Amino acid sequence: MPDPTSKASIDFERCRIEDGKGWEKLSVERILDHRYIQIEEVRYQTPARQTPVDWTVARRKSAIAVAPMLPDGRFLLIQQERYPVQRALWEFPAGQIDDIHNRENTDVILNTVHSELDEETGHQLAPDGELIPLGYFFSSQGYSDEHVYLFLAKNVVPTGKGPSPDAGESILGCRALTASELSDEIACNHIVDANTLSLFARLCAKGHIDPSD
- Of residues 171-210, which lie at the interface with its own copies (CB under 8 A)? 172, 183-184, 186-187, 189, 192-194, 197-198, 200-202, 204-207, 210
Measured CA to CA in angstroms, residue 91 lies from 64, 77, 78, 100 at distances of 13, 5, 6, 24
Beta-carbon contacts of 37 under 8 Å, excluding residues fewer than 6 positions away, are 58, 59, 60
Residue 169 beta carbon to its own copies: minimum distance, rounded to whole angstroms: 9
Beta-carbon contacts of 100 under 8 Å, excluding residues fewer than 6 positions away, are 61
Could you say which residues in the range 37-56 bind its own copies, by CB under 8 A? 37, 39, 42, 44, 46-49, 53, 55-56
The rounded distance, in Å, linking the Cα atoms of 196 and 203 is 10
Residue 60 beta carbon to its own copies: minimum distance, rounded to whole angstroms: 7
The one-character DSSP state at 191 is -
Residue 7 beta carbon to its own copies: minimum distance, rounded to whole angstroms: 17
Q: Select 156 or 203, whichever has its Cβ closest to its own copies.
A: 203
Could you say which residues in the range 78-137 bind its own copies, by CB under 8 A? 81-89, 91, 94, 96, 135-137
